[in-house]
């Protein structure tokens, strides 16, 4: 997304079917990418790990 504040507001306002029953949402990690394709590739890499330990490591070791 280009606007993280707006995205988080929509999640917390229940405007997404998946997120509305899981509020509140907090942003704990974000990365900036030059293109949408790069961002989507990175999101896929992170989600592919499926490890809570990896996600915790990623958050604690952000640049």
Q: Residues, the chain, total?
A: 63
Mean pLDDT of 36-63: 86
C-beta of residue 16 within 8 angstroms of C-beta of residue 10: yes
- 57 or 1, which is more confident? 57
Q: How far apart are alpha carbons 32 and 1 in whole angstroms? A: 10
Mean pLDDT of 59-63: 78
Cα distance from N-terminal residue to C-terminal residue, the chain: 20
Return the percentage of the chain with pLDDT > 70, whole number.
98
Confidence grade of residue 15 (pLDDT, cut at 50, 70, 90): confident
Give residue 63's pLDDT.
61
Alpha-helical (H) ranges within 1-63 are 4-12, 36-49, 52-60
- For 25, which DSSP code? P
Phi and psi, residue 10, nearest 5°? -65, -40
Tens-place pLDDT, residues 36-45? 999 999 989 8
């Amino acid at each position: 997304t280009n606007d993280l504040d707006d995205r988080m507001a929509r999640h917390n306002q229940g405007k997404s079917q998946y997120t509305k029953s899981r509020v509140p949402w907090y942003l704990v990690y974000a990365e900036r990418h030059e293109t949408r394709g790069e961002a989507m590739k990175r999101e896929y890499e992170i989600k592919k790990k499926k490890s809570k330990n990896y996600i915790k490591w990623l958050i604690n070791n952000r640049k």
